[in-house]
Amino acid sequence: DTGVSQDPRHKITKRGQNVTFRCDPISEHNRLYWYRQTLGQGPEFLTYFQNEAQLEKSRLLSDRFSAERPKGSFSTLEIQRTEQGDSAMYLCASSRSGPSGNTIYFGEGSWLTVV
Amino acid sequence: AQSVTQLDSQVPVFEEAPVELRCNYSSSVSVYLFWYVQYPNQGLQLLLKYLSGSTLVKGINGFEAEFNKSQTSFHLRKPSVHISDTAEYFCAVTVDNYGQNFVFGPGTRLSVLP
């Protein structure tokens, strides 16, 4: 049983550039989540998919952020026109639906540094 | 809405000593509680969870936690820590079966000293 995998693990980009992160969830999990974590803080919810449908977005997810899960498997998170305030770790997590849906499993995270 | 408080931002402890990391929550409805551990530059790993039943739950790496509804607490304990336990520990609460409703505490950095 492979865990949640994320790519790339680290990304340094110049302000104004676009970046994209990929997440591959645990294979039998139909729910997928994106969280953001800044230094000294716990993760904050960004968005959530059930299969290919994006069911919820946090107000933290500005218009420059877009997430997709086109076939209900892997997901991408794109940040357009990056700003220094976007520097954070972006965590992907997945879970099953149903009674065990409240146990989420995280990937290793993708660190973004905007310079 | 629920919230989580982790009163100690940093906890230094000597190797082989016991440790307790405190977590208190606020919610108007029944909750599910979790502890996650994050090693440097890594994602979060599930340590243990309380969903229902016995209030004392055991997790990986020798950790355990006790749910106390009257005190709205879910403190994490280990009787003897190792250097490898040095990490950030996050308490989290949710009220349903949906991961987007997780609320995480700010974390406690456990430093185990030789």
pLDDT at position A101: 62
- A25-51 pLDDT tens trace: 999 899 999 999 998 889 999 999 999
DSSP element (H, E) containing A54: strand A53-57
What pLDDT score does A104 carry? 87
The verdict on A113 touching B (C-beta cutoff 8 Å) is: no
Taking CA–CA distances from B88, the nearest residue in chain A reads A40
In the prediction, which pLDDT does A99 show? 64
Does the beta carbon of A109 lie under 8 angstroms from any beta carbon of chain B?
yes
Give the C-alpha separation, B35 to B23, whole Å: 9
The yes-or-no verdict on residue B62 having pLDDT over 90 is yes
Residues 44-83, chain B, touching A (beta carbon < 8 A)? 44-46, 49, 51
| A-chain residue closest to B94, CA distance | A102
pLDDT band for A60, please (50, 70, 90 cuts).
Answer: confident
What is the pLDDT averaged over residues A77-96? Answer: 95
Average pLDDT, stretch A11-17? Answer: 97
